[in-house]
Amino acid sequence: MTIRVRPESPVPIYEQIIGQIVFAVAASDLAPGEMVPSVRDLAAELVVNPNTVVRAYQELERAGILETKRGLGMEITADGPKRCRERRRAIVLLRMREALREAASAGLSAVDVCKMVEDEWPRLNSTRNGQAK
């Protein structure tokens, strides 16, 4: 499992980490009972401050996606996959709604937007953050 963050992105690093883990669990790349990297390890790998990772993990714990095994680390909960699929949908929908609202108030039609999606989609792969498939 590999996590990648884009430090120059407007979306906060801790949210990027959350998103990556949510998406990985939703896609069954991370299974319940599996442990996530330790705070220190992930921080070192991403070259960010450990506190930033702590924040991401704690938010995932509050969301019932991770649970702490004291002294050992944190692992995916049994409910994780279900919650992550819900959350994934919510994340994408939220961002999508913002974009659509903007498009609508700019006077575009649904057809215009779909054309734009098809135009932009292939262009993503060149600049995307990781996952090749």
Distance, CA of 88 to CA of 21 (rounded, Å):
10
Residue 97 contacts a second copy per CB under 8 A: yes
Nearest residue to 75 via CA among 86, 60, 56: 60
- Tell the smallest beta-carbon distance from residue 106 to a second copy (Å): 5
In the bound complex, what is the minimum distance in angstroms from residue 41's beta carbon to a second copy?
20
Minimum separation from the CB atom of position 40 to a second copy (A) = 19
CA-to-CA distance for 3 and 5, rounded, in angstroms? 7
Which of DNA, a second copy, none sits in contact with 39, Cβ below 5 to 8 A by type? DNA
Q: How far is the CB of 91 from DNA (least distance, A)?
A: 14
- How many C-beta atoms lie closer than 10 Å to residue 6's C-beta? 13
Q: Give which of a second copy, DNA, none residue 75 binds (C-beta under 5 to 8 Å, depending on kind).
A: none
- C-beta neighbour count of 70 within 10 angstroms: 5
Decide if 32 contacts 84 (C-beta within 8 A). no
Contact positions vs a second copy (CB under 8 A): 7, 9-13, 19-20, 23, 26-27, 49, 62, 69-71, 88, 91-93, 95-108, 110, 113-114, 116-118, 120-121, 124-125, 128-131
